[in-house]
Amino acid sequence: MKFGKELKQQKVPEWTEAYMDYNGLKRILQEIQQFKQHERPPSPLRTSQQRLSLYRPFSALDVRTSFEESTCDVEDQVIAVETMKQDDTREVYSTNILMSPKEGGQSEITFFQKLDEELNKVNTFYRDKVEEVIEEAASLNKQMNALIALQIKVEQPDIDKCHIQRNGSMDSGSESLKLTSPSRVEMLEDRYMDSKFDVDRINHWGPGESGSPTNKGASINSAACRNRPSSDKYKSDPLDVLDHVKINNTLESPKSTIRSVLNDSKDKDLSFTKDELKEAEGRLKVVFIEFYRKLHLLKHYSYVNVLAFSKIMKKYEKIALRRAARSYMKIVDESYIGSSDEVTLLLDRVEGTFLKYFANSNRREGMKLLRPKRKREKHRITFFSGFFSGCSIALLIAVILLIQARKVMAKEDHTMYMENVFPLYSLYAYIVLHMLLYAANIYFWRRCRINYPFIFGFKQGTELSYREVFLISTGLAVLTLATFLVHLHMKVDSVNSVYKKYTELVPLGLLIVVLAIFFCPFNILYKSSRFFLIRCVFRCICAPLYKVSLADFFLADQLTSQVQALRCLEFYICYYGMRWYQKEQKCHSLDLYNVFYIIVAVIPYWIRFLQCVRRLFEEKEWVHLCNGSRYFLTIIAVVVRTAFELKMDRTWKVLALVSSVAAILFNTYWDIVVDWGLLQRNSKNVFLRDKLAVSRRSVYFVVMVLDVILRLTWLQLVLKFNLRSLKGTAISSLFSCLEIFRRGVWMFFRLENEHLNNVGKYRAFKSVPLPFSYYEEDDDNDKDD
C-alpha cells in the first residue's frame, strides 16, 4: 500500500486538516519532476549505470566511508533552515534554497515554502494539544487527591482530623485505629502515599520513585501526618482536601433531575458514603480511559507526521536528485513534534495509575479497558449474510406463489383474514427496511471517513459494522418470512382442526421470540449493542428527565418515521386482547382503538418536543425553541390528518391539507438548511456548504430534490388520488416505506454535517464530567499571597 493511502487511513478523522498535507506536497513534486524531464531528459545510460552499481564493493559498514559520505552531505547541502522564535516559546521554521531559481525551478521554492508551512502547522497544533493534556493532567491530579482522601474517609469513618504530632507520637484519640486489621491499614496507607507520588509526577517531569510507608501497620493518621503535602493549604491534614470538594451532579437520572429543579443545585456536599465513593470511582475511571485514548492518539499523531516528512523528503531527493533530506529531517527531529516527550511520560504514568487504582494492579484486565482490541471482520458473518439474504428471497417467492396458487385474495373469508394478518407481519418489514438502510449508511460513512462510533457514543470496539447489521436484518427477514409461510400454510391448506386451534397464535409466538432475543441478558447476539439501544429507548421514553445526547434525539427522529410500525404494535394488542377470536370484528370499529391510533402516532413527535424543551433550558439556545415548535406543528398536522382518515369529513380535509402543507414546508427547510447545513450563502460550493464529505456535488442536489418529493408524498393521504392498483392498507404501507427510505437518506447527511462540525472544532473526544469540583480556591490563594 502506498504511504499516501496508509496516511489517510491512520488519520484521526476530526484532525484531518491538522495533518501534514502529503498529497499537496506530492503534487508539487510532480511539477518538479516534469520540470526536470523538460530541462534534462533521462539518459539511456542511466539504467546501465544502476546495474553496474550493483557490482561495486560493499562498504556500508566502513567507518571511514560513512564519515566521508556525511562530510560530503554537509558540503553539498542545497537548503538552509532558519529557526525564528515567536512569542518566546514557539518556533517558526523557514527554508532558504542555496541555488538560483533558474537551476532549481520555481516549483522547488514552492515546495519548501509549503513544507515549512506544514511543519509550522503540525508543530502549533501538537503544542496546543499537549498544553491541553497537561492542564487536564493537573485537573486529574486534584481529582485523584480527592478520591484517595474519600477512600480513606469511607473506609475509616472515625478519622476526622490528624491527631499525630510531627514527631510521630500518637494521642489517645487514635488508639481505636489499632483495632483495624493491619492488611487493610497498610493498603490504605500505600494508596494514599503512592497516589501523592504518582499524581505529582503528572505535573513534574522528574523521575522520582514511588514512596512506601516506613511503619507498616501504623495508623492511617500517622501515615497521613508523615506524608502530608508541603503546601500550606492542606498542611494541617491531608484529609482537609475533602473540606474544599463537592461531588458533581450530572443530572443522569430522573431523580437527580427532579431534585435539581426543586433545589436548583448542581453540586452536593459529600456525605462520605460507599455509594458516593463507588460513583466517583466509576466516573474517574471513564475519565482516565478517555484521557489515555487522547494521549495515545496524540503520540500516534506525532509519529505519523514525522514519518510523513521523512517520506516526502526521500521522494524529493529521488525526483530532484539533491541531498536535502538529512538536513531538513534534523530540523524536524529537533522541533517540538519530534523532540517533545511529555505525551510519552504521561502515557506511562497514567497507565500505571489506572492499573493500580482502577484495575487492582491486574495489567491484563486494565489494558483491555485502556486499549480495547479492534474488531476483526469474520468470514462467517459474510457467509451467513449472503446465506440469509438468499433464503429470504427464496421464501418471499414461495409466499407469493402460495398466495397465487391457492387464490387467497379471491376468497372472501381469506381476504378478511389477510387484512388482519398483514399488519401483524408488516411490523417486521418496516424494521428490516430501516436496518438495511442503516447498514448502507455505515458502509458509506466508512467510505467517507465519518466517525460515526464517536458521534453516537459507542463504546470502542463494540460498534457494529455494516456486515453485522446486514446479517441481523436478513436473519430477521428469514425468521419472519418462514413464520408467515408456515402460518399461511396452516390457514389455507390444513384441514386438521388441531392446527386451526393454534393458527392464530403463530404471529404472537414470533413477536415473543423477537422480544426475547432483543432483551436477552446473556452475552450473545451483540449484547452491548442491544443494551445500548434499550438504554436509548428508555431515555427517550423518560424525556425530558434525562440529559439529551445525540444518540437519544437521533433515535427519536428515527421513531418519527416508524409511526406505522408503532401502530402495528397497537394492532397486536387489539388483535390478541380485544375480541381477536371474532373474525368479523375490526379494530377500527372500536372507539378506544381509534383514540390510541392517534396517540401512538403522536408519541415520537412528542418525545422530540420534550427533548427540545430540555435542551432549551440547559443550553439556552433559541434554535431548540424553533426545533420544538416544528415538532409541535407536526403533532397538530398528524392529529388532524389522522382524524380526517377516520371521519372522512370535508372540514377535516381542509384542516388536514393546511396543517400538512405548513408542517411539510417547515420540516423540509429544517432538513436541508439546519440538519444538513446546505444552501449556505457565500459558500465555496454554490448552494451547498464549504466542506463536503461526498466528492460529487450533484449528489447533494439530488437528495435535496428527493427530500422535497418524499415529503410531499404524504399529501396523498389527504388528497386521496385514485390509485387503482393500491387499496386499503397497501397505500399507507407504501408511503411508510417511502418515509423510512427518506429517513435513511436524511440519516447519512445529518451525521455528515455533525462530523464536519466536529472536524471544524477538532473535536475528537467526548467530554466526560469529573466527579469532584473544588471551591474556595481563589480565597485561599489570596491568603497565601
Check residue 670 and give its pLDDT: 95
Instruction: Give the whole-number percent of the chain exceeding pLDDT 70.
Output: 74
pLDDT digit string (tens) for 583-599? 445 777 778 888 888 89
The pLDDT of residue 555 is 95
State the Cα–Cα distance between residues 784 and 234, nearest whole angstrom: 12
Q: Which of 641, 703, 694 minimizes the C-alpha distance to 671?
A: 703
The answer to whether the CB of 188 falls within 8 A of the CB of 220 is yes
What DSSP line would sit under 291-310, residue for residue?
A: HHHHHHHHHHHHHHHHHHHH
How many Å is the Cα radius of gyration of the chain? Answer: 34
Residue 561 in this model has a pLDDT that exceeds 70: yes
518-530: average pLDDT: 91
Helix (H, G, I), strand (E, B) or coil at 104: helix
Q: Which amino acid makes up residue 774?
A: Y
- Residue 624, φ and ψ in degrees, nearest 5: -70, -30
Expressed in angstroms, the distance from the first to the final Cα of the chain is: 60
The better pLDDT of the pair 520, 49 is held by: 520
Q: Are 142 and 234 in contact (CB under 8 A)?
A: no
* pLDDT at residue 2, as a whole number: 81
Which is higher by pLDDT, 319 or 68?
Answer: 319
Residue with the bigger pLDDT between 777 and 378: it is 378
Grid cell of 601 as nine digits: 402516532
What is d(CA 308, CA 115) in angstroms, rounded to the nearest whole number?
Answer: 11
Whole-number pLDDT of residue 265: 53
pLDDT of residue 73: 47
Helical pair 622-647 and 591-619, crossing angle rounded to 10 deg: 170
Supply the pLDDT for residue 193: 46
Q: What is the 3-state secondary structure (H, E, C) of 348-399?
A: HHHHHHHHHHHCCCCHHHHHHHHCCCCCCCCHHHHHHHHHHHHHHHHHHHHH
DSSP symbol at 86: E
Give pLDDT tens digits for 74-89.
445 667 777 777 665 6
How far is it, in rounded angstroms, from Cα 384 to Cα 442?
19
Using pLDDT thresholds of 50, 70 and 90, give the confidence band for residue 235: very low
pLDDT at 733 over 50: yes
- Residue 751 has a pLDDT of 94
- The residue-averaged pLDDT of 91-116 equals 74
Q: Name residue 207's amino acid.
A: P
pLDDT above 50 (res 67)? no
Report yes or no: 473 and 430 within 8 Å, Cβ to Cβ: no
Q: In the prediction, which pLDDT does 785 show?
A: 46
How confident is the model at residue 539, as a pLDDT? 93
Task: Give the pLDDT band (50/70/90) at residue 461.
Answer: confident
Q: Cell numbers at residue 581, please?
A: 377470536
Rounded to the nearest 5°, which phi and psi values hold at 207?
-80, 10
> Higher model confidence: residue 689 or residue 266?
689
Residue 224: predicted pLDDT:
38
Determine phi and psi for 384, rounding to 5 degrees.
Answer: -70, -30
Secondary structure letter of residue 677 according to DSSP? -
Tell me the three state secondary structure of residue 79.
strand
Residue 99: is its pLDDT beyond 70?
no
> Is residue 764's pLDDT more than 80?
no
Judged against a pLDDT cut of 50, whether residue 581 lies above it is answered with no
Residue 397: per-residue pLDDT: 94
Q: What is the pLDDT of residue 499?
A: 66
Three-class secondary structure assignment of 750-768: HHHHHHHHHHHCCCCCCCC
Evaluate whether 475 touches 432 at the Cβ level (below 8 Å). no
Q: Kindly state the average pLDDT of the residues 384-398.
A: 94
Position 608 pLDDT exceeds 50: yes
Nearest to 548 by CA among 615, 637, 450, 470: 615
Structural contact between residues 283 and 93, judged by C-beta atoms closer than 8 angstroms: no
Cis peptide before 544 (omega within 30 of 0): yes
Give the confidence band of 266 by pLDDT, cuts at 50, 70, 90: low
Buried/exposed 129-145: b ≥16 CB within 10 Å, e otherwise: bbeebbebbebbbbbbb
**Euclidean distance between CA atoms 701 and 672, whole angstroms:** 10
Mean pLDDT of 417-442: 90
437 vs 580, higher pLDDT = 437
Q: State the virtual CA torsion across 57, 60, 62, 67 in degrees, nearest 10.
A: 120
Predicted pLDDT at 318: 86
**Model confidence over 254-264: pLDDT tens digits?**
666 666 666 65
- Can you give the pLDDT at residue 61? 55
Mean pLDDT of the chain: 78
pLDDT exceeds cutoff 70 at 567:
yes
pLDDT, tens only, 111-147: 888 888 999 999 999 999 999 999 999 889 888 888 8
Residues 567 and 600: beta-carbon distance below 8 Å: yes
Q: For residue 234, name the pLDDT band (cuts at 50, 70, 90).
A: very low
Q: What is the pLDDT of residues 329-374, one digit of tens each?
A: 888 898 889 888 899 999 999 989 888 888 888 888 888 888 887 7
**Could you tell me the pLDDT band of residue 202, with boundaries at 50, 70 and 90?**
very low
Length of the chain: 785
Residue 46 grid cell? 542511466
In whole angstroms, give the CA distance from residue 752 to residue 710: 21
User: Exposed, middle or buried by CB within 10 Å (0-12, 13-18, 19+), for 5?
Assistant: exposed
Question: CA-to-CA distance for 187 and 182, rounded, in angstroms?
Answer: 9
C-alpha cell at 772: 469532584
DSSP string, 383-442: HHHHHHHHHHHHHHHHHHHHHHHHTGGGSHHHHHHHHHHHHHHHHHHHHHHHHHHHHHHH
Q: E strands within 87-176?
A: 90-97
The one-letter code for the residue type at 699 is V
Q: How far apart are CA 74 and CA 80, in angstroms?
A: 11
Determine phi and psi for 774, rounding to 5 degrees: -95, 150
Using the predicted structure, report yes or no on whether residue 572 has a pLDDT greater than 50: yes
Taking the C-alpha atoms of residue 223 and residue 580, their distance in angstroms, rounded to an integer, is 74
Lowest mean pLDDT among 275-279, 382-386, 645-649: 645-649
C-alpha cell at 36: 526536470
- Burial letters for 439-455: b for 16+ Cβ neighbours within 10 Å, e otherwise? bbbbeebeebebbbbbb
> Of 199, 219, 395, which is closest to residue 288 (Cα–Cα)?
199
Report the candidate in 573, 568, 567 with the shortest Cα–Cα distance to residue 598.
Answer: 567
Confidence band for 761, pLDDT divided at 50, 70 and 90 = confident
The lowest-confidence range among 106-120, 227-241, 378-392, 732-746 is 227-241
Grade residue 52 by pLDDT with cuts at 50, 70 and 90. Answer: very low
Percent of the chain with pLDDT over 90: 31
- Render pLDDT for 532-548 as a digit per residue (tens, 0 to 9): 999 999 999 998 888 89
The one-letter amino acid code at 244 reads: H
Whose grid coordinates read 433464503?
391
Tell me 315's DSSP state.
H
pLDDT band at 306 (very low <50, low <70, confident <90, very high): very high
**Residue 736 CA to chain centroid, in angstroms?**
29
